[in-house]
A and B are shown apart, each in its own frame.
Chain A
């Protein structure tokens, strides 16, 4: 009887274990999506991968779009290096998904992401994008400077120690969030939602997760720091972790965190929306 029970138990175990083993595959965590259906356009360090016309249900970039995107990215590529006073000579690969493919492939159909280890940007091409002129004077850029900043800064300044610095640099150097100048958000928050004007401590602690609030605030703070203390000093804080940040800030800038917070608050009160882009 005991032996029979044992056999039944072992057979059950065999079936359960086989089921688990067969189903426990890496696809639960990550899927391979090795898409090779690309056309490539090279413009100096910028390598743009895009879909041919008819590849999906929405228009793919035209030859003019492709040329203007790579020209704009070349412009950002140099402007970012000039702004942070660091040189970067790697090629940057941009994989541009059509809007109806992007959500599935890269997790967003309204922007993109970057992988600095691979010098790569994954981005959405939106053919009927809302009109906007960025702070570099580029009219209706399909791909902004934000992800290019991540690729360059993460490679020349190191791994960002805080979200505040990583996104702060990207928004400061892009000048916008969601195709609106960062000063627009500041004015709107001051007027309608004063609690959304974040202090440096709130930014450091990531007290608000909403990107539409966090990102413009981080960009404005970074811009203020660069103007006040100089980019070379602020670069040294890029990879500083949250726990050491306040102390490092004082060591590098010579200003205490508390004093800086007071001065930053006064600075925010002086900003007026002139309806123009501000570097």
Chain B
């Protein structure tokens, strides 16, 4: 809960900053830019081996390689840059790993996951000193995900959920040379249970549905990122980067901030490698 209070305090401070009339932010031309991106993500969804705080996640793990494509638009104003991004992700094969490399649990060819994420962020400058800039961006978005797990006996589980999240990004950058900028930072996102809904369905090995339960998730997601951006003479930009993304949290039958009737959880980690072209 300490972390939640800190987050709320931070959001409050950011709001104060947003409403501040005097901004010493570098004026930029009104502009519209587009970007397209692609990426390869390594997904791991851990089991929850300790339920009490601090929770522990460990083996076995569901894992797979995720393909990602995305597109976005940036509206560049005087003091702010508005970004709208849409990403589509798919894991065509999910297998399990017991920690020793064995997949005892899943029929991997029949287990898959698809997700779509739409996010909106307002980027502003917080601090600038020569080649170093510190930008921040409050962010809001929706996250739709559907995952099918087919167990070895033929039993199946499907979870589908739509979630609304709020967060904050930090975007420190350092201009290494005229055309090359290094950017790294840390983002955090909260998924509010009152705004999220999911459904878990289960079928037994005889393909008879044995369960359909709704759930409301309270997740916390963090993203550590680093990238190199190269700007061409014509103003086009290419960015190559890495993101380490972790999501932890639980989903109850009712929207709650604590575990009551645990239906579902996310305890996952992504290692993401991406390439982006901005024009």
Contact = CB atoms under 8 A, between A and B. Distances in A.
Interface string A24-59: 111111111111101010000001010000000000
B57 to A, nearest CB: 5
B58 A33 contact: yes
B22 A13 contact: no
Contact of A107 (B13, B50, B58): B50
Contacts of A17: 10, 13-14, 126, 136, 168, 170
A122 B263 contact: no
Please name the 9 residue pairs, one residue from A and one from B, whose CB atoms are nearest each other, closest first: A158-B211, A89-B153, A30-B248, A30-B55, A107-B50, A118-B47, A28-B3, A14-B127, A26-B246
Interface residues of A, number: 57
A88 to B, nearest CB: 8
B64 interface: no
A89 B107 CA distance: 14
B198 interface: no
Interface of A: 2-3, 6-7, 9-11, 13-14, 16-18, 20-36, 38, 40, 47, 49, 87-91, 93, 95, 105-107, 113, 115, 117-120, 122, 155-159, 239, 241
Contacts of A10: 17, 24, 126-127
Contact of B10 (A20, A118, A157): A20
Contacts of B136: 17
A13 B126 CA distance: 8
Kindly state the interface size class of chain B when it binds its partner: 35 or more
A90 B204 CA distance: 11
A29 B49 CA distance: 13
Interface in B1-29: 2-3, 6-7, 9-10, 13-14, 17, 20, 22, 24
B166 to A, nearest CB: 13
Dominant SS among interface residues on chain B: strand
B155 interface: yes
Nearest to A11: B127
Dominant SS among interface residues on chain A: mixed
Nearest to A113: B51
A88 B206 CA distance: 10
A49 B46 contact: no
B276 interface: no
Nearest to A156: B204
B58 A34 contact: yes
Given A20-B10, A22-B186, A118-B105, A90 B222 contact: no
10 contacts: A18-B170, A21-B187, A32-B56, A33-B56, A49-B100, A93-B98, A115-B47, A119-B105, A159-B213, A159-B261
A24 B7 contact: yes
A66 to B, nearest CB: 15
B148 to A, nearest CB: 13
A106 B47 contact: no
B80 to A, nearest CB: 15
A30 B205 CA distance: 33
B194 interface: no
B60 A93 contact: yes
B234 interface: no
Contacts of A122: 49
A104 to B, nearest CB: 8
B41 interface: no
A237 B53 CA distance: 31
Contacts of B213: 158-159
Given A106-B49, A106-B50, A119 B269 contact: no
Interface string B248-279: 11000100000001010001010000000000
Contacts of A14: 126-127, 134
A25 B6 CA distance: 12
A28 B261 CA distance: 22
B55 A31 contact: yes
A236 to B, nearest CB: 11
A157 B202 CA distance: 10
A157 B200 CA distance: 14
Contacts of A120: 47, 60
B134 to A, nearest CB: 6
B248 A26 contact: yes
Contact of B222 (A11, A20, A25, A32): A25
A29 to B, nearest CB: 5
B244 to A, nearest CB: 11
Contacts of B170: 17-18, 21
Nearest to B159: A117
Contact of B188 (A24, A36, A239): A24
Given A11-B127, A13-B126, A38-B99, 15 more contacts: A27-B54, A29-B3, A29-B53, A32-B57, A32-B269, A33-B49, A34-B57, A34-B61, A40-B98, A89-B153, A91-B105, A91-B152, A93-B60, A155-B204, A159-B263
